[in-house]
Structure 1
Amino acid sequence: MRISRLYLPQALEEGSVLQLDEESAHYLRTVLRLKKGTDLTVFNGDGREYSARVATIVRDEVRVEIGDGRNREVESPLTTHLGLGISRGERMDLAIQKAVELGVSRITPLFTEHCVVRLDDTRRGSRRQHWRKVARSACEQCGRNRVPEIEEPIELRDWVVGREGLRLFFDPQAAVGLKDLPRPEGFVSLLSGPEGGFAEKERVLAREAGFIPVRLGPRILRTETAVLAALSAIQAIWGDLG
């Protein structure tokens, strides 16, 4: 039987017994439905993971005993920073989830001209926390022990300036594909649009900032599909899926 993995936002030490915070306790008790004595794996994002066992599980208290720690790196050798046009609800969640599963290193949500989601300061903070939870859950599922950072949402025009490494943006109008490009030296900045795609002035802005337009085949892809297809292809060509 598969052992459940759980992200814990606290220091982990071999031999300690930790009382879980309310959110983690609810997830372990109600979602995972673990029982006292059940083995699991826990991690906090620092690259290590620990064997653990449920020591106490009652209505208002869940404790886990931390066992042996081990270093287990499954990070891609290719560092990828994804600038992701903000989409609605489940589409954005799915794009972040799959990007994390496919080894993305960092994600910055972007406001674009065709973005249909507008966030005030309060909603911006709450959405960022939600997207961080999506990223942590994806790490629990896929076995990553380092959680990619979800940065503060910013305007596309601000993000494209000063990006590092090979800079790419996905454009169905592009003349070249990924296989036509030289192998990057360890770092790729990726720009992916929202549901409505990029406005022409945003394409110009990206090109002026050194981003190369690339196509992902002859079909028009939804924003969440484009992220999945692009990162899969990049990892297969230059990363660790080959």
Structure 2
Amino acid sequence: MPPRFFVDSPLNSQEPGGADLPLPASAARHVQVLRLQPGSPVTLFDGSGHEWQAEVSAMGRSEVRVHLQARQLVQRELTHEVTLAVVMPANDRMDGLVEKATELGVACIQPLMSERSVLRLNGERADKKVAHWSGVAIAACEQSGRTKVPKIAPIKTLAAWMAELPVQTSEQRRWLLSPTAAQSLKALNEVAAKSTSVLSGPEGGLSPAEEQLARSNGFLAAQLGPRILRADTAPLAVLGWLALQSL
């Protein structure tokens, strides 16, 4: 299978068989690291849902050019959109969460801070982390075959994010992961929807006041069984379960 590269500019305006196209610096570096040569096949995508089959046409010290050959629309997304609203786990576990969630088909990841957060990021540090996680998501798309890159939203406090939520419609589900909830995830999944938002807390869990705030904004609480999962495991378990439901 040819290596896949994300191109951060629209390719729809480029006609297959037309002029050669210079790759952005990040993709060009990957081509050079792989030691591809003119004539080597590659696959490009720009986040629109299309893939372009292409081949390397020229290699330079700082520039790599490719020749587009064919375009096709590819469907590898989940049947409905899933947003993971995750109070950020500590110790760089967020990197792995973003990577695995992208592979499993998440549409959006909303990093949050709560009362019991260990990891707290603001200002320039927060912006750099979001940019880093976006890069992790792009790399996971290149590896997994996805043609749409999930959105990594700006870091917010849980309260600020709740305050900005739009009015919930009948086509939107909102789930709160809570080990003390009375009902199971299976019971919540019996209600069909076009999108699902899953809220998951930090290592120490959400506070009672935060859980009540979530419930007042339409989140239904569910537990994932008798075992307590890590802050980075629980949302991935739900996402994987939802992904299997869509097969």
Shared fold, TM over 0.5: yes
207, 215, 218: which one pairs with 2:223? Answer: 215
The whole-number CA distance in structure 2 between the counterparts of 1:36 and 1:221 is: 49
- Is the CA contact 2:198–2:235 (under 8 Å) kept in the aligned structure 1? no
Q: What number of residue pairs does the alignment pair up?
A: 237
Match of 1:142 in 2: 144
Residues 1:170 and 2:172 aligned together? no
Q: TM-score, normalised by structure 1?
A: 0.91
Match of 1:26 in 2: 29
What is the Cα-based RMSD across aligned positions, in Å? Answer: 1.7
Check 1:57–1:195 CA distance in 2 against 1; reply closer, same or farther (3 A cut): farther
Match of 2:97 in 1: 95
- Is the CA contact 1:178–1:234 (under 8 Å) kept in the aligned structure 2? no
Aligned partner of residue 233 in structure 2, secondary structure: helix
| CA shift digits 1:204-225 (9 cap, x unpaired) | 2111212111111211111221
The whole-number CA distance in structure 2 between the counterparts of 1:138 and 1:174 is: 33
Structure 1: unaligned runs, 5 residues or longer = none
- Is the CA contact 1:92–1:224 (under 8 Å) kept in the aligned structure 2? yes
Aligned partner of residue 110 in structure 2, secondary structure: strand
| CA shift digits 1:173-201 (9 cap, x unpaired) | 11211111222221111101223321222
The whole-number CA distance in structure 1 between the counterparts of 2:202 and 2:243 is: 22
- Is the CA contact 2:175–2:198 (under 8 Å) kept in the aligned structure 1? yes
The whole-number CA distance in structure 2 between the counterparts of 1:28 and 1:170 is: 42
Residues 1:6 and 2:5 aligned together? yes
- Is the CA contact 2:52–2:71 (under 8 Å) kept in the aligned structure 1? yes
Check 1:194–1:49 CA distance in 2 against 1; reply closer, same or farther (3 A cut): same
Cα shift at 1:36: 2.8
Cα shift at 1:87: 2.2
The whole-number CA distance in structure 2 between the counterparts of 1:185 and 1:118 is: 33
Match of 1:47 in 2: 49
- Identity of counterpart residues, as a percentage? 38
Structure 2: unaligned runs, 5 residues or longer = none
- Is the CA contact 2:80–2:194 (under 8 Å) kept in the aligned structure 1? yes
- Is the CA contact 1:114–1:197 (under 8 Å) kept in the aligned structure 2? yes
Aligned partner of residue 224 in structure 1, secondary structure: coil
The whole-number CA distance in structure 1 between the counterparts of 2:203 and 2:94 is: 10
Residues 1:17 and 2:10 aligned together? no
The whole-number CA distance in structure 1 between the counterparts of 2:21 and 2:129 is: 28
- Is the CA contact 2:51–2:73 (under 8 Å) kept in the aligned structure 1? yes
| CA shift digits 1:76-102 (9 cap, x unpaired) | 111112211112353101111111111
The whole-number CA distance in structure 1 between the counterparts of 2:117 and 2:28 is: 36
Match of 2:123 in 1: 121
The whole-number CA distance in structure 2 between the counterparts of 1:113 and 1:63 is: 50
- Is the CA contact 2:176–2:219 (under 8 Å) kept in the aligned structure 1? yes
Residue type matched to 1:144 in 2?
R
Cα shift at 1:50: 0.2
Check 1:94–1:55 CA distance in 2 against 1; reply closer, same or farther (3 A cut): same
Residue type matched to 1:49 in 2?
E
